[in-house]
Amino acid sequence: MSLEKIPLAGVIGSPIAHSKSPQLHTHWLRTYGLPGAYIPMDVSADDLADVIRTLPKMGFVGVNITVPHKERIMELADLVTDRAILIGAANTLIFRKDGKVHADNTDGYGFIQNLKQYSPAWDPKSGPAAVLGAGGAARAVIAALLDAGVPEILLSNRTRVRADALKQEFGKRLQVFDWVQAGNMLEDAALVVNTTSLGMLGKPQLRVPLDGLNKRAIVTDLVYAPLKTRLLIEAEEAGCTTVDGLGMLLHQAVPAFERWFGVRPEVDSATRAAALR
Ligand code: ATR
């Protein structure tokens, strides 16, 4: 096959060295024997628009977008999916053959698929979900949970005004708790989600008392480095089912890979191992 026929994709952010997406997409390209390459690109905010205009001319079929460009990229797209508009950010671009740039956000999809895969007994309608954190990741998680049929979101964030802003947006299905009382919302929760960066390598630990945690609750953390955060370890000790955050990263990549390379990839133990390499 000639070089110009090879579809190219990649991830744009700054910094970008930590991204696991190149290992992941390269693993799938090899697994399915597909021509293609996936390249990490460190791009500044000043260069972002030029780069997005240029990539399709170089054979790129799309890119993932990561920190700090996930919000700004929305202005540069010709078409934006409803779920990306709702979240206010995009993580995936598709460069269409008609020249249009299509922006999507698959983070919420990845979050739900991860729960379905690793905690198949989870029924969204079984009870409220307690969400810790009110940043960009929380927005994607809350929108996806409400869309999946979760009856109520119990939300707590260190900076109360950010949680109140989400309450304004999502309305009466969302109830805000003070950060110092975050432990109180766990009693009623069927699902507990940490969307803060606390517990990540090099960051302070999340310190929420789990005494009131319902033993039937499922506890999940968006942090995946380390895989077993203190929250997950303590939740397991309390008898809860836990789901780590790596699967969300893997599942959010599935729709993009399928659109770019034409095969819907599996998320399995080999995929996890590849992303951790
Ligand atoms: P992301 O897009 O990953 O959600 P973000 O918008 O910067 O990133 O949000 C990070 C989340 O982690 C926020 O909920 C943040 O709380 P604040 O809104 O109070 O900043 C939370 N977070 C980060 N460091 C924290 C800390 N030391 N204690 C409590 N919460 C913290």
Distance CA 274, CA 47 (A): 31
204 lines ligand 1 (CB under 6 A): yes
Distance CA 186, CA 75 (A): 38
Q: What is the per-residue pLDDT across 177-224, written as a single tens digit (0 to 9) for each?
A: 999 999 999 999 999 999 999 999 999 999 999 999 999 999 999 999
In terms of C-beta density within 10 A (0-12 exposed, 13-18 middle, 19 or more buried), how is residue 10 classed? buried
Angle 207-208-211 from CA coordinates, rounded to 5°: 130
Distance CA 246, CA 111 (A): 10
162 lines ligand 1 (CB under 6 A): yes
Q: What is the per-residue pLDDT across 235-248, written as a single tens digit (0 to 9) for each?
A: 999 999 999 999 99
Domain map (residue ranges) of the chain: 8-105+249-276, 108-244
Return the residue whose CA atom lies nearest to atom 11 of ligand 1.
Answer: 196
Architecture of domain 8-105+249-276: 3-Layer(aba) Sandwich (3.40)
This prediction's pTM: 0.95
Return the residue whose CA atom lies nearest to atom 25 of ligand 1.
Answer: 198
Phi and psi torsions of 176, nearest 5°: -100, 135
Q: Do domains 8-105+249-276 and 108-244 have the same CATH topology?
A: yes
Residue among 71, 131, 158 to mutate when testing ligand 1 (max atoms within 8 A of CB): 158
Q: What is the fold of 108-244?
A: Rossmann fold (3.40.50)
Distance 111 CA to ligand 1 centre (A): 18
Predicted ipTM beyond 0.90: yes
Q: What is the per-residue pLDDT across 244-264, written as a single tens digit (0 to 9) for each?
A: 999 999 999 999 999 999 999
Return the residue whose CA atom lies nearest to atom 28 of ligand 1.
Answer: 158
